[in-house]
Structure 1
Amino acid sequence: MELLTPGIGLIAWQLLIFLTLFFVLRKFAWKGILSALKSREDEIESALKMAEETRAEMAKLKSDNEKLLAEARSERDAILKEAKEDANRIVEESKNKATEEANRILASARESINQERASMVDGLKKEVASLSIEIAEKVMKKELATKGAHSELVSELISEAKLN
């Protein structure tokens, strides 16, 4: 059991060596080790802050991008709606103009037909009047002795008359 329990001398020497090593390390190495640990801790903390700031900035950029996309979509929809309304308005105006033009052409054609008809009726009246006067002149020139000669003359004049 002697191997398991150390002796007092061994404990004293080990304590003396430990304390000497502790004071030497404290005097020369402790400040360097603590400053290295402190700088490492500061670097880690600054990296964590930068990561958090970057995360916040990315979230802000993402929300800004979504906002811009929403605005672009609404603007696109407004432009499409306006274009559709303009197209419908132009089509409606074109239809109205075409209808007005067709009505104007029809009215002009009707008036032209009515003028032609009136002119033809006037021409026909003049022709009939001229023929009537011609027949009356021929009847008056000829002396009619009998009623049969008179009927014969009227028949002859009617067959000679040219009706255009």
Structure 2
Amino acid sequence: MDLITPQLGLLFWQTVLFLLLLFILTKFAWKPIMASLREREDSIESALRMADQAKIEMQQLKAGNEKLLADARQERDRMMQEAQVMVNQFRETEKTKAVEEANRITQQAREAIQTEKNAALAEVKNTAAQLSVDIAERILRRELAEPAAQTQLVDSYLKDVKLN
């Protein structure tokens, strides 16, 4: 049991040594330890402030990026609309040009057909006139004194000539 219960002298010296150690620690070690703890607290607090500031800056950058992205999308949409308008205008212009060209070609073809028709009619008239002159010449070559012979000659020539 002596080992479990301490004696009075041992308690006295342990108390004196504890108080001496406490005095020495308070005098020499407590201030530097507290200063380093304060310094550590300050650095942690500063790091937290910097982290909050960085977080705010990141939010601002994110908002700025989103605004830039939205502006870019709007610009892209505007450019796409302008391009679509230009394409539609180009199509309409080319369509109008094609219609005008087709009308011009059609008009030229009509004029060419009319010219050919007029030339064909003139040729038919010339051919008819030539046939008439040929018939008249043949009639004149024959004897013109007999009316029955003239009538028979004209009938035979008319049978030879086939007009369309």
Aligned position for 2:112 = 112
> Structure 1 residues 139-148 or 106-115, which shifts more?
139-148
Taking the aligned partners of 1:41 and 1:14, their CA distance within structure 2 comes to 35
Identify the structure with bigger relative contact order (alpha carbons < 8 Å, sequence gap 6+). 1
For 2:143, what is the secondary structure of its paired residue? coil
Aligned position for 2:81 = 81
Unaligned 5+ segments in structure 1 are 1-11
Aligned position for 2:137 = 137
Taking the aligned partners of 1:37 and 1:143, their CA distance within structure 2 comes to 156
Taking the aligned partners of 1:27 and 1:139, their CA distance within structure 2 comes to 165
Give the partner amino acid of 2:98: A
Aligned position for 2:39 = 39
> Structure 1 residues 105-114 or 148-157, which shifts more?
148-157
For 2:115, what is the secondary structure of its paired residue? helix
Aligned position for 1:4 = none
Taking the aligned partners of 2:41 and 2:20, their CA distance within structure 1 comes to 29
Taking the aligned partners of 2:40 and 2:141, their CA distance within structure 1 comes to 148
Aligned position for 2:24 = 24
Aligned position for 1:65 = 65
User: How far off is 1:90 after superposition?
Assistant: 2.2
Taking the aligned partners of 2:25 and 2:131, their CA distance within structure 1 comes to 153
User: How far off is 1:55 after superposition?
Assistant: 0.6
User: How far off is 1:52 after superposition?
Assistant: 0.9
Taking the aligned partners of 2:155 and 2:124, their CA distance within structure 1 comes to 21
Aligned residues: 156
Aligned-pair identity (%) = 48
Does 1:150 find its partner at 2:134? no
Aligned position for 2:101 = 101
User: How far off is 1:94 after superposition?
Assistant: 2.0
Q: TM-score, normalised by structure 1?
A: 0.80
1:65-89 CA-partner distances (Å, limit 9, x unpaired): 1012102211211221122122212
Unaligned 5+ segments in structure 2 are 1-11
> Structure 1 residues 116-125 or 13-22, which shifts more?
13-22
Please provide the CA RMSD for this pair. Answer: 2.7
Poorly superposed stretches of 4+, deviation over 4 Å: 12-22
Taking the aligned partners of 2:152 and 2:83, their CA distance within structure 1 comes to 85
Q: TM-score, normalised by structure 2?
A: 0.80
> Structure 1 residues 140-149 or 36-45, which shifts more?
140-149
Aligned position for 1:9 = none
Taking the aligned partners of 1:27 and 1:142, their CA distance within structure 2 comes to 169
